[in-house]
A and B are shown apart, each in its own frame.
Chain A
Amino acid sequence: GAVVSQHPSRVICKSGTSVKIECRSLDFQATTMFWYRQFPKKSLMLMATSNEGSKATYEQGVEKDKFLINHASLTLSTLTVTSAHPEDSSFYICSAKTGTNSGNTIYFGEGSWLTVV
Chain B
Amino acid sequence: AQSVTQLDSQVPVFEEAPVELRCNYSSSVSVYLFWYVQYPNQGLQLLLKYLSGSTLVESINGFEAEFNKSQTSFHLRKPSVHISDTAEYFCAGWNSGNTPLVFGKGTRLSVIA
Which residues of A pack against B, CB within 8 Å?
Answer: 1, 6, 31-32, 34, 42-44, 46, 49, 51, 93, 95, 97, 101-111, 113
B43 close to A (CB within 8 Å): yes
Q: In the docked arrangement, what's the CA distance between A51 and B98, Å?
A: 9
Let me know if A34 and B32 touch, CB within 8 A. Answer: no
Q: In the docked arrangement, what's the CA distance between A109 and B42, Å?
A: 10
The bracket for how many chain B residues form the interface is 20 to 34
A-B pairs with beta carbons under 8 Å apart, 10 shown: A6-B43, A44-B90, A44-B103, A51-B98, A95-B44, A105-B46, A106-B34, A106-B101, A108-B46, A109-B43
Q: In the docked arrangement, what's the CA distance between A2 and B104, Å?
A: 23
- Residues in B with CB closer than 8 Å to A95 are 44, 100-101
Most buried by B among A42, A93, A101: A101
Q: Say what secondary structure dominates the interface of chain A.
A: strand
Shortest beta-carbon contacts, A-B, top 10: A111-B43, A110-B43, A108-B44, A43-B105, A32-B98, A34-B100, A43-B106, A44-B103, A46-B100, A43-B103
**Could you give, for residues 29-67 of chain B, a 1 whenever the CB lies within 8 Å of some chain A CB and a 0 otherwise?**
000101010000111111001011000000000000000
The 8 Å CB contact of A104, one of B32, B46, B103, B104, is: B32
B96 close to A (CB within 8 Å): yes
Let me know if A1 and B46 touch, CB within 8 A. Answer: yes
Q: In the docked arrangement, what's the CA distance between A104 and B100, Å?
A: 12
From 74 to 91 in chain B, residues with beta carbon under 8 angstroms from any chain A beta carbon are: 90
- Residues in B with CB closer than 8 Å to A107 are 46
